[in-house]
Amino acid sequence: MPAQVVDGRAIAAAIRREVQAELKALAAGHRPPGLAVILVGEDAASATYVRNKAKACEEVGIRSVQIHRPATISREELLTVLHTVNKDETVDGILVQLPLPPHIGERSILEAVDPAKDVDGFHPANLGGLLTGHPLFVASTPLGIMEVLDRFRIAIEGRDAVVVGWSTIVGKPIAFLLLHRRATVTVCQKWTRDLDRHTRMADILVVAAGQPGLVKGDMVKEGAVVIDVGINRANGRLVGDVDFASVSPRASLITPVPGGVGPLTVAMLLKNTLVAYKARIGLARQP
């Protein structure tokens, strides 16, 4: 029986409606929430991402503050911009659009973001908090994966989960999120020897390795839940890290590319901004 295919766009739309409804309920007597997005340079893909985030913010009632600086900006000048936004009481969340120009150094910039406004979940304090199970914020893509598992009522406790990919943006955070939900987690890489031996054990398989078609049907356990996070361009079209055609007949649930996990990333960013906003106006404890 073919796998159930996740409609990430529909889930993202539902999340936006939920955020919008909660913000409408909070509107009386409170300022609107604010999300500052810092874009450096003229990278076309980054500019598109920023426009999409601004559009999503407008849709749900979040004030989008777009700060665009030239690629020639110095690290010290960008840090000054960040310090100003950190102190701005009308800004609840800060997102630094990556990648940054090489001369700046991403680490020093991400470390300068106020952890309480780090709705991207990239600050070392939040990454470290994830290790202990108490982060202020978690990166949007791993949160989106958990949203898929929960909305489809996928059992996690006691299941074997395999994560292929170990980035701090997806692989490591989702591994810890699954661990905290009592899954038995194996983390692999695209260079792992006998990768198929590990992936065939997975009840839940998350692939975020950045290699198109890495996981084929014969590498997947019958009935597995397969989450494809890869976004690769091949032969003029977007494809994932999972070979959808051969894997979907074996899986019980699968996310397509495009239209699977991708749309959830911006939606979960909005949800993180809502959480930050409620904490800053005193309607909730800091997460």
* Tens-digit pLDDT profile for residues 40-86: 999 888 898 899 999 999 999 999 999 999 999 999 999 999 999 99
How many CB atoms neighbour CB 84 within 10 A?
12
Q: 212 to each of 114, 209, 217, 237, 239, how far by Cα in Å?
A: 36, 9, 14, 11, 6
Catalytic residue positions, numbered = 53, 97, 120
Q: Where are the domains of the chain?
A: 30-114, 140-263
* Tens-digit pLDDT profile for residues 208-255: 999 999 999 999 999 999 999 999 988 888 899 999 999 999 999 999
CA dist., res. 1 & res. 164, Å (int): 25
Q: Which tokens hold the place of 221?
A: 């356990």
**Mean pLDDT for the chain?**
95
H/E segment holding residue 233: strand 232-234
CA dist., res. 40 & res. 47, Å (int): 9
* Tens-digit pLDDT profile for residues 151-180: 999 999 999 999 999 999 999 999 999 999
140-263 and 30-114 share a CATH fold: yes
H/E segment holding residue 108: helix 106-112
Question: For position 124, what pLDDT does the model report?
Answer: 95
Q: What CATH superfamily classification does 140-263 receive?
A: NAD(P)-binding Rossmann-like Domain (3.40.50.720)
Q: Determine whether 194 is exposed, middle or buried from the number of CB atoms within 10 Å of its CB (0-12, 13-18, 19+).
A: exposed
CA dist., res. 119 & res. 96, Å (int): 10
**CA-based nearest residue to 249, from 227, 224, 229:** 224
Of the CATH numbers 3.40.50.1370, 3.30.565.10, 3.30.300.20, 3.40.50.10860, which one belongs to the domain with range 30-114? 3.40.50.10860
